[in-house]
Chains A and B, each alone.
Chain A
Amino acid sequence: MRVRLKFSKHGPIRFIGHLDTLRYFQKAIARAKVPVKYSEGFHPHQLLSFAMPLSVGVESDGEYLDMELLSSVSFDDEKRFLDGIIKDLNDTMDEGIKILSAKVVPEGKKNAMASVSAASYQVWYKNHKVEDPDEFSEKIMEIINSNEPIIVTKKTKKSEKEIDLKPHILTFSCGVSTFDETMELRFDYFMMLSAGSENNIKPQLLMDAIHKRLGMDPEEYPIVIRRNDLFMTDDEGAIVPLINDLSE
């Protein structure tokens, strides 16, 4: 049986990289005594897989992890069973990581990593330098809404290629909120971008392209990125959260 967990990652722990987060979970799962399945052999490891790596320094409200449980595990009441796992894990979690929900993944469904097709982000400027938010927002949306492609060079480990970001911007909007600490005005972007193994578009790439278009020096406008959630495409082609409607 496979169980999918959704968790958030905040605070100093955001500086822990992907592999270390995996190692962190392995220990937490062992401490919580979750009936997880292990691989065979001399160095058994838990059968876990993350949906998508999160860059070092980025906070998130929507990270996912699939874990394979022992085949002997059974339950009468799924909700109680999953709530128990969530509680046991959260009891042994450190500040910054919290399990938000859990769901049994039906047989035959793809694992979290193979499922991801989009990710949503919130982005803002660290040093709130936007003077006239309305005007600024208009300029940005013009770029997004025009028919002109946004061509960028995407570097992977192996190659460099030119791509148009436009088809990968699934949603995009701007807004104004306030900083938690200072209550000063903050300019926010909300976006959903293609994600997953095929087309993974990082918000930094889009923001760099926008800044370039507007002649803004990226050094002067450092951004903060928060991942909000991860999504998959369901059988009807609709984009739904990774832990939504797994059952049907």
Chain B
Amino acid sequence: MGNKLALSDDILMRVEKPARYIGNERNATIKDLSSVKIRFAMCFPDVYEIGMSNIGIQILYEMMNRRPDVYCERVYSPWPDLDKIMRDENIPLFSLETQSPIKDFDFLGITLQYEMCYSNILQILDLSGIALRSSDRNEDDPIVMAGGACTYNPEPVAAFFDLIYIGEGETSFDPLFDIYNKMKEDGTYSRVAYLREASKVPGIYVPSLYDVTYNEDGTVKSFEPKYEDVPKTIRKQVITDLSNGPYPTKPIIPYIQVTQDRAVLEIQRGCIRGCRFCQAGMTYRPNREKDIETLKKQAIEILDNTGFDEISLSSLSSSDYEKLPEFLDFLIEECEKRHVNISLPSLRIDAFSLSVMSKVQDVKKSSITFAPEAGSQRLRDVINKGLTVEDIMNGSRQAFLGGWNKVKFYFMLGLPTETDEDVKAIPELSDSVAMLYYDTIPKEERHGRCNINISTSFFVPKPFTPFQWAGMFPPEEYLRKAHLLKDTMRAQLNQKSLSYQYHEADVTILEGVFARGDRKLSDAIEYAYKHGALFDAWSEFFSYERWLDAFEKCNISIPFYAYRERTVEEKLPWDFIDIGVSRRFLENEWKKATEERGITNNCRDKCSGCGCATYGGGVCFKERGVD
């Protein structure tokens, strides 16, 4: 590409980090526009440094650009400084690769990874000059689509999208593109006609083709396709053979430091565990591992092609990757030769992981991490977290003996059935770990105090988890729990070795509203955006009051969406999606949890028949030892 940038030198010199907008990075795909039929703008609706750290986008970018007739380019949210300049000077939003207006593309695909980016969706559309609502768009506007984790309940943002891709991007883009090409070629293309055809592609949800009605109490009454040929349920898409799927071994190398400033290697998808609060654990089922030889090959290729000085492994629960020891042996040896650091995702703390960690990090500076999520064994059983006090104690003891003296604990507050006793159990458990340190390590061998850091987030019930029916607490109650935790911590014997941080409650409430919202929320999102909401994921821009105002103006009740516990009879806004895990399984898990009937096996020990075996791959078809 030439030196033609969409922004003038003057503007680039005026904004913070101009490199966010110049594209041109190494390994970015350059194609001749006249040789392609479909132009796809792939968007992560947050700032460049965050968007560039998303591996999902890089996978799809690689996959789409392998097609000679498709050219996929990238676009991210302009930071507020540039946002203002673009509005003042009427500069349309542009892609990084060809620096050309988004409005000229055939598709605009926006990935939704967290609810707090919803206002940025509207920024992207607005700056592109595309109508915010699907129903207001013209024939020559791009087809605006969404994908990503939040689309497991797409209803709050459904009005803004022409189509929504449910599931993993590796499977259904080819048919979407083929239909598009064909309709363009034989002259049958129109937005309406295309969307109707697209709705028949597996995993594709076209919101405008469904009617929703509501009961008097505000719950969903019916959700029906408008036409007979439009499917009633949308089945989540899954790539069964991950080893042979597209993977970018020549990823784009940003010029500026991004959040994930390292080579990333996905080792598996999905998780064998079924923690009952965890959405990723359900929506990415079934667990699929990448073959170890593929991983070795990809690791070497990525390092050769990028020159990154660090590599990290990406997966939900890395310790569960079966051949992890063998792979890490390989990786440590390879990286030592190259002076490449390995950043390990949090591993389950045991003898193996400690020995690996001591090889790749400075024990004195690093910490070990546990995520028991709940303080008491009772509550850990309720949430199906298979981590026991013995695991924590044994792991900590070995870590202390190995020279560590920092421990990080992650917990959630506000889990279903939680009592004050469960909250108090958090600092008590932490205290007993501190105690263990002083009991284990003789005075003369200690490097000062041990350091136990407790951090809590507030529980948000998510669609397609066994807790999707659970209630949430108002902010005051969350804060009361946090204070209770803090006060109890202060009363502990080793309180000087303990510290505590908790997340904001306000953002959590909003996440709770969006996570289980319905179509009525789109008005409030539009209202908040038009009144200044932008970059809500950034605390410096987030305003709770603005959202409260928007909810009030648009008749959105926080108690109805967030605090209310649902009955299993209720029709949920996302029930039309089939993620493979059956509703019956989720209901059972919910009952089992609240009735405290114990834990459910992980997929590798025993299949619990969640329904995902229908995908025909992964852990469901593993031979299990007979016991």
Contacts and interface: CB of A to CB of B under 8 A. Distances in A.
B85 interface: no
A16 B24 CA distance: 11
Contact of A43 (B12, B24, B341): B341
A43 B341 CA distance: 6
Given A11-B3, A16-B255, A27-B253, A56 B339 contact: no
A48 interface: no
Contact of A16 (B3, B19, B303, B307): B19
A95 interface: yes
Contacts of B3: 11-12
Interface string B361-377: 11000000000000000
A237 B341 CA distance: 45
A119 B152 CA distance: 58
A44 B361 CA distance: 11
A45 B18 CA distance: 26
Given A15-B22, A16-B255, A57 B308 contact: no
Nearest to A16: B255
Contacts of B341: 42-44
A20 B22 contact: no
A38 B18 CA distance: 31
A13 B256 contact: no
A45 B305 CA distance: 18
Contact of A20 (B26, B256, B303): B256
Contacts of A13: 24, 255
Nearest to A37: B339
A198 to B, nearest CB: 28
A94 interface: yes
A30 B304 CA distance: 8
Interface string A77-98: 0000000000000001011100
B495 interface: no
A20 B257 contact: yes
A26 interface: yes
Given A12-B3, A38-B339, A57 B22 contact: no
Contact of B307 (A29, A42, A57): A29
B309 interface: yes
A106 B519 CA distance: 72
B13 A44 contact: no
Interface residues of A, number: 31
Contacts of A56: 13, 18
Nearest to B10: A222
Contacts of A46: 339
A28 B307 contact: yes
A23 interface: yes
A27 B256 CA distance: 12
B569 interface: no
B301 to A, nearest CB: 12
Given A12-B3, A31-B304, A42 B361 contact: yes
Nearest to A38: B339
Contacts of B305: 31
A27 B255 contact: no
A26 B26 CA distance: 14
A102 B349 CA distance: 49
B88 interface: no
Interface string A221-243: 01000000000000000000000
B306 A27 contact: yes
10 contacts: A15-B22, A20-B255, A20-B256, A23-B257, A30-B303, A43-B341, A46-B339, A57-B18, A92-B307, A222-B10
Interface of B: 1, 3, 5, 9-10, 12-13, 18-19, 22-26, 253, 255-257, 303-309, 338-339, 341, 360-362
